[in-house]
Chains A and B, each alone.
Chain A
Amino acid sequence: MSERTLRAAIAVLALAGAAVAAYLVYARYTGTRLACTTGGCKTVQHSKYAKAAGIPIAVLGLSAYLAVFTTALSARLEAAALGAAIVLGGLAFGIYLIVIQVAVIDAICQWCLASDGILAVLAVVSAQRLRRAAGIPQDTSARPLMAEKG
């Protein structure tokens, strides 16, 4: 997959994640009832675990997805590294929140799971992008020659 395709995939996934987060932010601040087939969305969204440092996690998620989208607009290695760090950190936090939903709150929010699924795919694509961004210059430099020598 080309670097450009990887960036396009990251941009699309980040926008999908941003849409999920935006819906949760909208519901939170307007009091709209969440569409929910798992039955626990409201419980989770109104739980005390739905905030970090007083900021709703949906707001943090929306910001993070938009930041990741922005990193996909640039071909620079710095952008790939920053995007991967945000996505991997977000995924780890998402896994922690799944544990909280199952073990503490006793309720599952389908929108959180959707976001976690998007993050998991984003993590794979971002890692691939980072690997490619970091690897291409080395592949064309001394390393293959040294390998041939051995």
Chain B
Amino acid sequence: MRSVRGLLGSRAALFAAVGIAAVGIAVGLIVASVVGSGGKKVAPTPETSISSPTSPAPGDTVNGAAATKALFRGIPQRLNVLGNPKAPVTMIEFADLQCPFCRDFALDALPAIVRDYVRPGKIKLVFAGIAFIGPDSETALRATYAAGLQDSLWNFLDLLYRNQGAENSGWVTEGLLRAVGNSIAGLDVDPLLAARQTAEVDNALLATNRQATSAHVNATPTFFAGRTGATLQRISVSDLRPQAFRPTLDALLQ
């Protein structure tokens, strides 16, 4: 058998062959990575934009993915906490994922709060999910907390609100959860779905329920805020627009 040098003839040819092999390895890996991570977008037809319990196929994504991504892009997330962990002010939201007012807060007030307070590191937001409206609440909540184990809870939550269906209509399907997961860059859907029934998620649900009971939370959304590390106080808001929160948050930041 002839040697490599014999086959290639010259040093330049050898280097070229090594270079081509290296490029081949890199391109092969990139193609395998891209193909493996791909998912197709659900066409925004009227049928899919109406919140119905139709199950998207595996690999599908949901509406609102780009807006959610832009909203949270670059902001640190850790479990159920959004924002700088050392932010001077903490705000907790108790919410049920089926609650339409929680959805209103997420879509109407949250973007401005994130832009003006969370992104600059002034406040951190803590999500406290409770499931009191019905079975779909717990199904959605478990998946949301499971997304928190991959530090993507706020993206998952926001996308579920954007695709919220009628209360207890069975809208929180496996297909929807999978499609929401597929819509979040960096989220691995299978481990998320597998984590929904784990002790970590069970404990998160129990802990939040205990917190809600001791804080006398009997409606959603309910907000508490205060200096980080101090006792948080319930915030009374007249409506769910960003300006309703500003006086409290600005006062706490003084």
Asked whether any CB of chain B lies closer than 8 Å to the CB of A138, the reply is yes
Pick the contact of B21: A85, A93, A138 (CB < 8 A): A85
Minimum Cβ distance to chain A for residue B74 (Å): 6
Asked whether any CB of chain B lies closer than 8 Å to the CB of A104, the reply is yes
User: Which residues from chain B contact A42 at a C-beta distance below 8 Å?
Assistant: 150-151
Asked whether any CB of chain A lies closer than 8 Å to the CB of B4, the reply is yes
Give B1-31 as 1s and 0s: 1 = Cβ < 8 Å from A's Cβ atoms. Answer: 0011100000100110111011111100110
CA–CA, A56 and B120, complex, Å: 35
CA–CA, A134 and B22, complex, Å: 17
Segment touching A, from B110-118, B121-129, B165-173, B186-194: B186-194
User: Which residues from chain B contact A51 at a C-beta distance below 8 Å?
Assistant: 33, 36-37
Are A81 and B18 touching (Cβ within 8 A)? Answer: yes
Are B25 and A85 touching (Cβ within 8 A)? Answer: yes
CA–CA, A105 and B33, complex, Å: 14
Are B15 and A134 touching (Cβ within 8 A)? Answer: yes
Are A81 and B188 touching (Cβ within 8 A)? Answer: no
CA–CA, A42 and B23, complex, Å: 29
Are A54 and B36 touching (Cβ within 8 A)? Answer: yes
Give A61-94 as 1s and 0s: 1 = Cβ < 8 Å from B's Cβ atoms. Answer: 0000000000000000110010011111110110
Pick the contact of A89: B5, B11, B25, B187 (CB < 8 A): B25
In terms of DSSP, what is the predominant structure of the interface of chain B? Answer: helix
Asked whether any CB of chain A lies closer than 8 Å to the CB of B152, the reply is yes
CA–CA, A150 and B22, complex, Å: 36
Asked whether any CB of chain B lies closer than 8 Å to the CB of A5, the reply is no
CA–CA, A46 and B26, complex, Å: 21
Tell me the chain A residues, 22-62 only, with Cβ under 8 Å from chain B: 39-40, 42-44, 46-54, 57, 60
Asked whether any CB of chain B lies closer than 8 Å to the CB of A3, the reply is no
Are A134 and B11 touching (Cβ within 8 A)? Answer: yes
Minimum Cβ distance to chain B for residue A55 (Å): 8
Known: A50-B188, A51-B33, A93-B25. A43 touches B151 (CB 8 A): yes
CA–CA, A106 and B77, complex, Å: 11
Minimum Cβ distance to chain B for residue A54 (Å): 6
Are B186 and A44 touching (Cβ within 8 A)? Answer: yes
CA–CA, A60 and B33, complex, Å: 12
Are B4 and A77 touching (Cβ within 8 A)? Answer: yes
Are B22 and A85 touching (Cβ within 8 A)? Answer: yes
Asked whether any CB of chain A lies closer than 8 Å to the CB of B230, the reply is no
Are A52 and B18 touching (Cβ within 8 A)? Answer: no
Are A88 and B14 touching (Cβ within 8 A)? Answer: no
- Identify the interface centre among A39, A48, A93, A134: most chain B CB within 10 Å of its CB: A48
Minimum Cβ distance to chain B for residue A36 (Å): 10
User: Which residues from chain A contact B19 at a C-beta distance below 8 Å?
Assistant: 88
User: Which residues from chain A contact B24 at a C-beta distance below 8 Å?
Assistant: 89
Asked whether any CB of chain B lies closer than 8 Å to the CB of A118, the reply is no
Are B5 and A46 touching (Cβ within 8 A)? Answer: no
Asked whether any CB of chain B lies closer than 8 Å to the CB of A107, the reply is yes
Pick the contact of B35: A47, A53, A87, A134 (CB < 8 A): A53
Question: Which A positions have Cβ atoms within 8 angstroms of B?
Answer: 39-40, 42-44, 46-54, 57, 60, 77-78, 81, 84-90, 92-93, 96-97, 104-107, 130, 134-135, 137-138
